[in-house]
Amino acid sequence: MTPPSKLKQLLQIPVIVAALGYFVDIYDLLLFSIVRVPSLKYLGVPEARLLDDGLFLINMQMAGMLVGGVLWGILGDKKGRLSVLFGSILLYSLANIANGLVTSVGQYAVFRFIAGVGLAGELGAGITLVAEILPKEIRGYGTSLVASVGVLGAVLAYFVADIFDWQVAYFIGGGLGILLLLMRVSVFESGIFKEVKEKPVARGNFMQLFSSAPQFFKYLRCILIGLPIWFVIGFLVSLSPEFGQALGIATPIVAGKAIMCAYIGLSIGDLSSGLFSQLMRSRKKVVLTFILLTSLLICIYLFVPITSAAWLYWVCAGLGFSIGYWALFVTIAAEQFGTNLRATVATTVPNFVRGSVNIITLLFLYFKTQFGIISSAALVGGITVTLALLALWKLEETFGKDLNFLED
C-alpha cells in the first residue's frame, strides 16, 4: 500500500468523527476536575470540604462510567457500534448542560453520575469501529490518531474554563456534543460487525467474559495494564493543588493548568506510542517502555525537590507523555477478543480503569491517615505499576492480528 493510499484510508470519515467525538468526551470528562474548586465554592462548600466533596463527585462520575461501560459495551455488540456513538454523546451532552444548572452538591452528584454513564461509551465504540474498518497494517495509526486528537479536548476545557465561568463551560461542552451528533449521520457501520450480525452467535454477552479462567484472566490483564494511567490523571494531576502544598511550593497550583499540561503530553505520548508500535511491530514492548517511564516520573513528582509551580507543570506534562499508551492499551483490549465481544471489552476495560479510582481513593485515604499525602501516593502508585507490569507479562502480542474472528 503506497503512502498516499494509506493516508486516504486513515482519514476516513468514521476515523475523523471518532477522533472529534473523543475530543468532546475528554473535554466533558475533565471539565469537572478543572472547575472543581470554583463550582463547589459557588455551591457554598467550605474550604475544608473542597477535597472530600471533590473526590465524592469524581467517584460519582466514575461510578456512572462503570455502569455505562457495561451498558454501552453490550449495546455496541448487540445493536452495532453506531448505536453507541449516537446514544452516548446525546446523553452526556444533555447531562453536561444540566451540570451547569445545579444548585446543590446533591444535584451535582446526580448529574455527574448521568454524565459518567454517557461518557463511558465514546472511546470504546470509537476504537472498536476504527480498528475494524482499517486494514491491520495501519490500525495502530488510526487508534493513535483518535486518542491524540481526542485528549486535546482537555486543553480546550482549560481555556474555556479560564475565559468563562464554570456554568458556561458546561453549556459549551454540551453544545459541542450536540453539534457533533449531527456530523455522525454520515458515519457507516463496521463491515466486520455486519457480517457477524447475520450469524447465529451470541453477541454482547458480558458474562461470557467470566465463563472460564483463561477468558477472565485475559480480560483482567487488559484492565490492569491501564491502572497507572488513571492513577496519574485521577490523583497526581487532578489533585495537584494539594500535592503542590504538600511539596512546599509557594505558588498555588492551578488544577486546570496542570491538567492541560498533562493532556498536551498525553496527546504527544499517544501519537508517539502508536508510531513506535507500528515501527517496532509490537504492542507489548511499547507499553512496557511507557509503564517504566511512568514509574520513573511518579518518583520524580513525589520525591525530587520541585521548588516552583512552573517545574511542577513541566513534570505533569512529562507524566502525561508517559501515560500516552492509553490508545494502545484500549487497542490491545479490542484486539484480544472476537467481534461478538469486542465492543463489550473495548468499552468496559477503559471504564473499569477509570472506575478503579473508587478503589484507589479508599487506599489513598487509608494510607494518607497513616503516612501522609506523599508517601500514600507513592504506595498506591507503586501498587498500580506493579499490577500493570505483571498483567502485561502474560498478555498475548496482538500486533497485526486479524480481527475477523469470534469468541466461542
143-166: pLDDT as tens digits:
888 888 888 888 899 899 989 999
Statement: residue 2 has pLDDT above 50:
no
266 in any annotated domain: yes
Average pLDDT over residues 350-361: 82
Statement: residue 112 has pLDDT above 60:
yes
401 in any annotated domain: no
Output the pLDDT for position 124.
Answer: 84
**What is the tally of structural domains in the chain?**
1
Q: Which three cell numbers stand for residue 71?
A: 451498558
Whether the CB-CB separation of 134 and 191 falls below 8 Å is answered with no
385-390 long-range contacts (CB < 8 A, ≥24 apart) are 385/227, 385/228, 385/291, 385/294, 385/295, 385/298, 387/224, 387/227, 388/224, 388/225, 388/226, 388/227, 388/228, 388/291, 389/288, 389/291, 390/224
DSSP labels, 4-40: HHHHHHHT-HHHHHHHHHHHHHHHHHHHHHHHHHHHH
Output the pLDDT for position 5.
Answer: 65
Say how far apart CA 123 and CA 24 lie, in whole Å. 11
- How confident is the prediction for the chain on average, in pLDDT? 88
- Identify the top-confidence range among 264-268, 269-273, 316-320: 316-320
- Among candidate residues 51, 365, 353, the one with its CA nearest the CA of residue 226: 353
198 in any annotated domain: no
234 in any annotated domain: yes
Output the pLDDT for position 4.
Answer: 54
Question: 200-218 burial, b if ≥16 CB within 10 A, otherwise e?
Answer: eeebbbbebbeeeeebeeb
Residue 223: pLDDT band by 50, 70, 90 thresholds? very high
pLDDT > 90: percent of the chain: 41
Statement: residue 271 has pLDDT above 50:
yes
Lowest mean pLDDT among 1-15, 64-78, 261-275, 329-343: 1-15
408 in any annotated domain: no
Question: Which amino acid is located at 285 in the chain?
Answer: K
Whether the CB-CB separation of 181 and 365 falls below 8 Å is answered with no
Lowest mean pLDDT among 6-10, 227-231, 326-330: 6-10
Output the pLDDT for position 219.
Answer: 94
Statement: residue 239 has pLDDT above 50:
yes
22 in any annotated domain: yes
| pTM across the whole model | 0.85
Statement: residue 325 has pLDDT above 60:
yes
Whether the CB-CB separation of 304 and 318 falls below 8 Å is answered with no
Residue 356: pLDDT band by 50, 70, 90 thresholds? confident
Q: pLDDT (tens digit, 9 = 90+) per residue, 50-101?
A: 888 888 898 898 889 889 989 998 998 888 888 888 888 899 999 999 999 9
Say how far apart CA 188 and CA 13 lie, in whole Å. 9
Say how far apart CA 295 and CA 325 lie, in whole Å. 13
403 in any annotated domain: no
- Identify the top-confidence range among 56-70, 108-122, 143-157, 394-408: 108-122
Say how far apart CA 26 and CA 24 lie, in whole Å. 6
- Among candidate residues 350, 18, 399, 337, the one with its CA nearest the CA of residue 196: 337
Whether the CB-CB separation of 327 and 143 falls below 8 Å is answered with yes
Whether the CB-CB separation of 103 and 109 falls below 8 Å is answered with no
346 in any annotated domain: yes
Q: Tell me how far apart the terminal alpha carbons of the chain are, to the nearest angstrom.
A: 33
CB atoms under 10 Å from CB of 252, counted, come to 10
Query: Which CATH number fits the domain that encloses residue 44?
Result: 1.20.1250.20
Statement: residue 220 has pLDDT above 80:
yes
- Which range of residues forms the domain containing residue 299? 3-185+204-394
Whether the CB-CB separation of 342 and 403 falls below 8 Å is answered with yes
Q: Return the ∠ at Cα 318 (arms to 130 and 24), rounded to 5°.
A: 40
Output the pLDDT for position 371.
Answer: 87
